[in-house]
Structure 1
Amino acid sequence: MTAKNALNEIKRNLDRHVGEKILLRANGGRRKTIERTGVLEETYPSVFVIKLDQENSFKRVSYSYADILTETVELMVCKDEGQVRVTLSQGHDA
Structure 2
Amino acid sequence: MAQGNSLDRIRENVKNYVGEKVRLKANKGRKKTTIREGVLESVYPNIFVVKIDGGYNSIRRVSYSYSDILTETVEVTVYDEGEQIRIS
**Normalization by structure 2: what TM-score?**
0.93
Q: Give the Cα separation in 1 of the matches to 2:11 and 2:63.
A: 13
Query: What is the match of residue 66 of structure 1?
Result: 67
Query: What is the match of residue 28 of structure 2?
Result: 28
Deviation at 1:28, TM superposition (A): 1.9
Moved over 6 A (4+): none
Between the two proteins, the alignment pairs up a number of residues equal to 87
Secondary structure of residue in 2 paired with 1:39: strand
Identify unmatched segments of 5+ residues in structure 2. Answer: none
Which is strand-richer, 1 or 2?
2
Q: Could you list the per-position Cα deviations for residues 7-63 of structure 1 after superposition, in whole angstroms to 9, with x for gaps in the alignment?
A: 010000011000100000001222111000001011111111111121021101111
**Normalization by structure 1: what TM-score?**
0.87
Q: RMSD in angstroms over aligned alpha carbons? A: 1.1
Query: What is the match of residue 3 of structure 1?
Result: 3
Q: Work out whether 1:41 is the aligned partner of 2:11.
A: no
Identify unmatched segments of 5+ residues in structure 1. Answer: 88-94
1:65 counterpart letter in structure 2: Y
